[in-house]
Chains A and B, each alone.
Chain A
Amino acid sequence: MSTRKLVDARGSFCPGPLMELIAAMKAAQVGDELEVLSTDKGSAHDIPEWINKVKHEHIETREEEGVWHVIVRKAK
């Protein structure tokens, strides 16, 4: 059964939100959704760029009070 996992990368400069997502993908199952929380506005670009290149699925990016929520689905 697929689930949504939170990847709280707020305040992460190193390894950073995308690296946190790449690590979390390893523990996720195909079909799972992952929601990355990031205080780095660059995540709004960096994460979808990687997701598209590696052929997972980008579901949504939104900003709420200085925190970017990037939601993706593990597709393979």
Chain B
Amino acid sequence: MRILVIGGGMGGTILANNLARRLAGELRSGKVRITMLSASDKHMYQPGLLYLAVGRMAPDELYRDQRGLLEPGIEFHVDPVETFELDKNQVKTKSGKVHAYDVIAIATGSRPVAEEIPGLAENAEQFYTEASALKMFKRLQEFQGGKVVVTVGVPHKCPMAPLEITFMLYDYFKDRGILDKTQIHYTYPVGRTHSLENVAKWATPEMERLGITYETLFNMKEVDGAKKVVRSEEGSEAPFDLLITIPAHRGMEVIEKNGLGQRGFIPTHRHRLNMEGKENVFILGDTTNLPISKAGSTAHFEAEALAENIAAMAKMGMPVRDYDGKVFCFIEAGKDRATYAMFNYQNPPDPKAPTRAVHWFKIAYNKLYWASARGLL
């Protein structure tokens, strides 16, 4: 069986490593071959960008060599796919090579598209790339007080990011001694402060306690940089001195160019994780169109279920279990407290009050992640 993994992010890497362990014997005997194609020889720990933006991590802490994260039996090529020929069970890469497969897993991820809102990219700070997170930190360091507005596009990667950056900004300004000259104003697209009702029940009184104002049902329409105001589709506007945005995301351009899914998100079966209409094409991570969080943990749990199923297909000719929609998200509630939300398709989360212990576990996980990526944790 030729297994092709497209994308060397969290989902693709955990899947490939998990498969390599489950199919170690088959890899050695040549019955199975696992190949990964990626756009980069580096692997980024994307959740670290949040910390980079407030000066709590350095860029070099975010990266490892992708080759070094992979099990030895996995073939790895830095040669991104340009054409998916799913009817022929093959892909063509940037270098012109053709890779045929029996099973393919597509985990190409998503990208921020602040440019879709007029004026947003030019006037807002964001932290979804290394360069933008560093730029945001520099801007924060120069900030001497005023009105800080947080805006949120849809869909976005990491559903906890809007709350996390808001509470981390509060502690950042407090530590710099400019909180009394700073007003943080949080906006959110739906009718409460977070899409998860139980998270909103915790976050709303927390904002009120800290003096963070908020406006719900606020979807960005445009940003007027001259007047320093962001206007919403709902007809309101928020003036700002510093605009921080969690931009909307799309899937990768190669997905859109190949017509695999609107806005780059591929229609995916919610339990089997195969592309609709394709039994040997699997999708995971941000690349799916599933109505669940675009988050590393989603990719992680999808990859575990998928690895078990693809390994079973190699050994027994059939998958063995369904993905149940499991997601686990840490929620940083400032610089030294955190909580978490765990849920699936059937059960909503019930987050507890933030504690220092959970925060330190998250900080530990920022290092343990590399064990997760290797498929060890």
Residues of A that sit less than 8 Å from B by CB: 7-20, 22-23, 26-27, 42, 46, 49-50, 53-54
- Closest residue of chain A to B348, judged by CB? A13
With contacts A14-B341, A15-B292, A26-B116 known, what are 5 further pairs, Cβ within 8 A? A12-B291, A13-B196, A20-B291, A23-B155, A42-B197
Q: Name the residue on B nearest A42 (C-beta).
A: B197
* Contact status A14-B263, CB under 8 Å: no
Q: Are B154 and A15 in contact (CB under 8 A)?
A: yes
Digit string of B156-192 for contact with A (CB within 8 Å is 1, else 0)?
0001000000000000000000000000000001110
Cα–Cα distance between A22 and B155 once the two chains are bound (Å): 8
Q: How far is the CB of B317 from chain A (nearest CB, A)?
A: 29
Query: A22 contacts B291, CB within 8 Å?
Result: no
Q: Which residues of A contact B116 (CB under 8 A)?
A: 26
A-contacting residues of B (Cβ < 8 Å)? 116, 154-155, 159, 189-191, 195-197, 217, 219, 233-235, 248, 262-263, 270, 291-293, 325, 327, 341, 343-346, 348-349
**Total residue contacts A-B, CB cutoff 8 A:** 80
Docked-complex contact B217 and A15, CB < 8 angstroms: no
List the A side residues contacting B345 at CB < 8 Å.
Answer: 10-12
Complex interface: chain A residues within 8 A of B327 (CB): 14
Q: Are A27 and B189 neighbours in the complex by a CB distance under 8 Å?
A: no
Q: Provide the main secondary structure of the chain B interface.
A: loop
Look across to chain B and name the residue whose beta carbon is closest to the beta carbon of A12: B291
In the assembled complex, the CB of A54 is this many whole angstroms from the nearest CB of chain B, namely: 5
Between A and B, 26 residue pairs with Cβ closer than 8 Å are A8-B291, A9-B291, A10-B291, A12-B345, A13-B349, A14-B292, A14-B327, A14-B343, A14-B349, A15-B155, A15-B291, A16-B195, A18-B189, A18-B191, A19-B154, A19-B155, A19-B195, A22-B190, A23-B248, A23-B263, A26-B154, A27-B263, A42-B197, A46-B190, A50-B234, A54-B219
B195 touches A27 (CB 8 A): no
A50 vs B217: C-alpha distance when bound (angstroms): 7
Q: Which residues of chain B are within 8 angstroms of A14 by Cβ–Cβ distance?
A: 159, 195-196, 292-293, 327, 341, 343, 349
B325: chain A residues at CB < 8 Å are: 11
- Note all chain B residues with C-beta closer than 8 A to A20: 291
Q: Whole-angstrom distance from the CB of A2 to the nearest CB of chain B? A: 16
Q: In the complex, what's the smallest C-beta–C-beta distance from A68 to chain B, in angstroms?
A: 14
Residue of B155, B191, B195, B248 near A50 (CB, 8 A) is B191
Would you call B293 and A15 a contact (CB within 8 A)?
yes
Complexed CA–CA distance, A60 and B89 (Å): 43
Contacts of B155 in A (CB 8 A): 15, 19, 23
Instruction: Tell me which residues across on chain A come within 8 A of B189, comparing CB atoms.
Output: 18-19, 22
B343 pairs with A23, CB closer than 8 A: no
CB-contact partner of B195 in A7, A15, A26, A54, under 8 A: A15
Question: Does the CB pair B191–A15 fall under 8 Å?
Answer: no
Question: Chain B contacts of A13 at CB under 8 A?
Answer: 195-196, 343, 348-349
B341 contact set on A, CB distance < 8 A: 14
Report A-chain residues with C-beta under 8 Å of the C-beta of B190.
16, 18-19, 22, 46, 50
Q: Which chain A residue lies CB-closest to B292? A: A12
Docked pose: A9 CA to B293 CA in angstroms: 12
Q: Find chain B residues with CB under 8 A from A9 CB.
A: 291
- By a CB distance below 8 angstroms, the chain A residues around B235 are 53
Task: Find chain B residues with CB under 8 A from A50 CB.
Answer: 190-191, 217, 234
The listed residue with most B CB atoms (<10 A of its CB), out of A7, A13, A17, is A13
Question: Contacts of A12 on B, CB cut-off 8 Å?
Answer: 291-292, 345
